[in-house]
């Protein structure tokens, strides 16, 4: 088989007169003559011209939407706008026929919901290939940022015996068969006889183990899948999502916020610089969709302009108490337009977060110093004894993208919080040990990987930025 040249390289480096072979999927076939060929190496397609004199009719008939072909020929100067070269095919080989009469996708606009059910083919569309190229870019930018800044990538376990967030939203892991699990005298399941000799679950966060790393290696980060059995059927929640969790020794909540802001801006800038074609397509896609919408439903800025705006401006920084005050003075609050109550002590809902970000500050907002009762046991108690050194970074269109805190490094205070919140000490002896033996102040946060990809791509539903979403009632593929 002829060695293939990737289309990204053809468009960048090949010259008129070169004889090459390209392989890819047919995005479009016009006038029985012009193939738009894409091989995933770039957003762009290469135009392949089918020379009817040279290519058998039987072969030409098999060239169709999303069929896979190899084409060999000579590069010539392109007649059409937008591209420098096109390939005049001397020979075409059909690598994979596509029976369009049975193929789930058709060469026309299809809804996101429909494509979600055909997730094994949706990556062949312009939209999803752009999204998943950008997803790769975000992952790379994250690793690059931390590597360049002296952080160590730490792999924390997926199977754990602890509930890091203390929220009880865990998937349990067992080798017991349902109905056949051994029980103790009081009738509860006897996990001491299970595979690990104890009850275990899929991790909700790598943070507690990352703290071990930070208190030895200084600066670490985790980047792995996390699992939450929360029954949230929203466009922002997945049961399996990826989280990035830096943990930094000697940092306080203010340094934590600085890191969160610098880090998120870096990622956005990286994508603006390295994925302009994919972004431009996604931007135009949104503009096309919004054409027939009422003005107030449209985005205030184009996607690319939003991204540029975010990296060029400081995030707003307020306390939770200030956030409540601002919300209480807001028009929607006074007119009873918020669905959920606004009172000091109550968790901010997405509608509140989005109003603060989109209507009031009109840029990302970092809210800090939340009431202790609505936050996890490990967050550092503030001097007022009412709030903890926690922070959430809120983004336009999405709400919370990052959640973090300074950690409670004082043993007595941590113990007290664990008792108050019913977190059992015997499950977390090692965590308490970190405070007893050579402990230090430290802080960190968790970035929801899919949430920032939602923001960067402008997609509307989190199920469309992960290849195979897991949500309540759905674990296809
Ligand atoms: O705010 P969370 O729950 O924080 C933690 O888990 C901490 N242990 C992080 C830390 O301090 N190291 O989750 C962090 C982020 C959220 O801000 C959100 O972006 C994302 O993870 N997230 C989800 N993303 C998709 N689906 C879900 N069900 C999510 N739950 C949280
Ligand atoms: Mg949170």
C-alpha to C-alpha distances, 44 to 7, 334, 381, nearest whole angstrom: 8, 50, 53
Q: 179: burial class by Cβ within 10 Å (0-12, 13-18, 19+)? A: exposed
Burial class, 248, CB count within 10 angstroms (exposed 0-12 / middle 13-18 / buried 19+): buried
* Ligand 1, atom 29, residue with closest C-alpha: 237
Tokens of 140: 């790379």
Strands (E) across 139-282 are located at: 152-153, 159-160, 172-173, 200-202, 219-227, 240-249
User: Which of the two residues, 165 and 70, has the higher pLDDT score?
Assistant: 70
Whole-number Å distance, alpha carbon 160 to ligand 2 midpoint, is 20
CA of 325 to the centre of ligand 1 (A): 25
Q: Give the residue, by CA position, lying nearest to ligand 1 atom 7.
A: 446
347 conformational bin, left if phi > 0, alpha if psi -120 to 50, beta if neither = beta
Mutational test site, ligand 1, from 211, 239, 241, 403, max ligand atoms within 8 Å of CB: 403
Closest by CA position to 399, among listed 448, 344, 444, 443: 448
Whether the pLDDT of residue 51 is over 90: the answer is: no
444 lines ligand 1 (CB under 6 A): yes
SS3 state of residue 238: coil
Edge to edge, the sheet with strand 219-227 lists: 152-153, 219-227, 240-249, 442-448, 399-406, 387-395, 365-371, 316-319
Is pLDDT above 90 for 123? yes
Q: Is 417 exposed, middle or buried (0-12, 13-18, 19+ CB in 10 A)?
A: buried
Tell whether ligand 1 has an atom less than 6 A from the beta carbon of residue 278.
no
Question: pLDDT tier at 1 (50, 70, 90 boundaries)?
Answer: low
Q: Which of 11-33 are b and which e, b meaning 16 or more Cβ less than 10 Å from the residue's Cβ?
A: beebeeeeebbbbbbbbebeeee
**Quick one: which of 404, 403, 397, 402 has its CA closest to 455?**
397
All domains in the chain, ordered by first residue: 7-108 (2.40.50.140), 124-169+204-464 (3.30.930.10)
Which tokens go with 422? 């019913």
Ligand 1 binding pocket includes 205 (Cβ within 6 Å): yes
Average per-residue pLDDT for the chain = 95
Strands, E assignment, 155-290: 159-160, 172-173, 200-202, 219-227, 240-249
Residue 80 has pLDDT above 90, yes or no: no
pLDDT digits (tens, 9 = 90+) for 285-329: 999 999 999 988 899 899 999 999 999 999 999 999 999 999 999
Mean pLDDT of 235-242: 97
Q: Is residue 364's pLDDT more than 70?
A: yes
Helices (H), 291-400: 303-312, 320-328, 331-334, 350-354
pTM: 0.96
pLDDT-derived band of residue 381, with 50, 70 and 90 as boundaries?
Answer: very high
Q: How confident is the model at residue 358 (pLDDT cuts 50, 70, 90)?
A: very high
> Cβ(445) to ligand 1 under 6 A?
yes
Kindly state if the Cβ of 400 falls inside 6 Å of ligand 1.
yes
Percent of the chain with pLDDT over 90: 92
Query: Bridge-partner residues for 75, per DSSP?
Result: 87
Evaluated on CA atoms 430, 436, 438, 439, the torsion sign reads positive
- For residue 296, the SS3 value is helix
């Amino acid at each position: 088989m002829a060695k293939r040249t990737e289309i990204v390289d053809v468009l960048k480096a090949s010259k008129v007169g070169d004889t090459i072979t390209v392989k890819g999927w047919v995005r479009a076939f016009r006038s029985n003559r012009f193939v738009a060929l894409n091989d995933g190496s770039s957003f762009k397609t290469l135009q392949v011209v089918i020379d009817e004199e040279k290519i058998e009719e039987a072969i030409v008939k098999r060239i169709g939407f999303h069929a896979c072909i190899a084409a060999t020929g000579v590069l010539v100067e392109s007649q059409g706008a937008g591209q420098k070269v096109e390939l005049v095919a001397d020979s075409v080989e059909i690598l994979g026929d596509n029976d369009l009469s049975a193929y789930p996708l058709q060469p026309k606009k299809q809804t996101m919901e429909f494509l979600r059910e055909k997730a094994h083919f949706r990556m062949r569309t312009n939209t999803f290939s752009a999204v998943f190229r950008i997803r790769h870019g975000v992952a790379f930018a994250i690793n690059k940022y931390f590597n360049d800044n002296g952080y160590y990538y730490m792999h924390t376990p997926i199977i754990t015996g602890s509930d890091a967030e203390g929220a009880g939203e865990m998937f349990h892991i067992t080798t017991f068969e349902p109905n056949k699990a051994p029980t103790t005298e009081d009738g509860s399941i006897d996990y001491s006889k299970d595979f690990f000799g104890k009850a275990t679950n899929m991790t909700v966060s790598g943070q507690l183990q990352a703290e071990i790393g930070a208190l030895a290696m200084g600066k670490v980060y985790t980047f792995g899948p996390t699992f939450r059995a929360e029954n949230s059927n929203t466009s922002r929640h997945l049961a399996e999502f990826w989280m990035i969790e830096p943990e930094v020794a000697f940092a306080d909540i203010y340094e934590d916020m600085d890191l969160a802001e610098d880090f998120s801006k870096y990622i956005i800038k990286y994508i603006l610089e390295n994925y302009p074609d994919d972004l431009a397509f996604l931007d135009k896609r949104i503009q096309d969709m919004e054409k027939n919408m009422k003005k107030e439903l449209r985005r205030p800025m184009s996607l690319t302009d939003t991204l540029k705006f975010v990296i060029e401006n400081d995030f707003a920084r307020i306390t939770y108490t200030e956030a409540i005050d601002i919300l209480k003075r807001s028009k929607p609050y006074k007119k009873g337009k918020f669905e959920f109550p606004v009172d000091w002590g109550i968790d901010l809902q997405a509608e509140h977060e989005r109003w603060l970000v989109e209507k009031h500050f009109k840029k990302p907002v970092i809210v800090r110093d939340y009431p202790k009762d609505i936050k996890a046991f490990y967050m550092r108690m503030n001097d007022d004894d009412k709030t903890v050194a926690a922070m959430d970074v809120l983004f336009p269109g999405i709400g919370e993208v990052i959640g973090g805190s300074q950690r409670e490094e004082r043993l007595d205070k941590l113990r007290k919080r664990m008792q108050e919140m019913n977190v059992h000490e015997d499950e977390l002896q090692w965590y308490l040990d970190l405070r007893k033996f050579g402990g230090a102040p430290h802080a960190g946060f968790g970035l929801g990987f899919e949430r920032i990809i939602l923001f960067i791509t402008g997609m509307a539903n989190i199920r469309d930025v992960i290849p195979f979403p897991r949500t309540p009632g759905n674990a296809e593929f």
